[in-house]
Amino acid sequence: MRLHGETITVTWRVPTGEVDGGNKPVCRTETETIDDVLVKPGADENAANSTRPAGITAALTIAIPRVWTYRSLRNALVTIRGHDYRVIGDPLPVDGGITPTRWNLSVELTDTEG
């Protein structure tokens, strides 16, 4: 059996080099779709903090194929099956000639609601 992933969308906020009236950077969005991404559900966890009694945090791990031209995912938004998740950190692809599978970039995602 051959593994085949799904299509996701990644959105970045990219500074334009301009600033607004409050001296904050003006950004534009760039999006890209990536095919054949493996999606692994993580554990859901209730937010036990009293300021968010109905809150929940959902986590996923995705594996991006090595054919994708790497670009930093720091602060990117990933849309999977119509739901948005935030990238945790700034993941780097596995390098150095190790090629056990088609996927070389593992990315942790999170979303908090409530």
What domains are defined for the chain?
A: 6-45+54-111 (2.40.10.270)
pLDDT score recorded for residue 65: 94
> How far is the CA of 3 from the CAs of 36, 38, 57, 82, 103, in angstroms?
9, 8, 28, 22, 11
DSSP 43-109: --EE---TT-TT-EEEEEEEEEETTS-----TT-EEEETTEEEEEPS------SS--SSSEEEEEEE
Nearest to 40 by CA among 66, 56, 59: 59
Q: Is the pTM of this model over 0.75?
A: yes
> pLDDT tens for residues 3-19?
789 999 999 999 999 99
Location of structure tokens 């849309």: 79
Ranges of the chain whose pLDDT falls below 50: 50
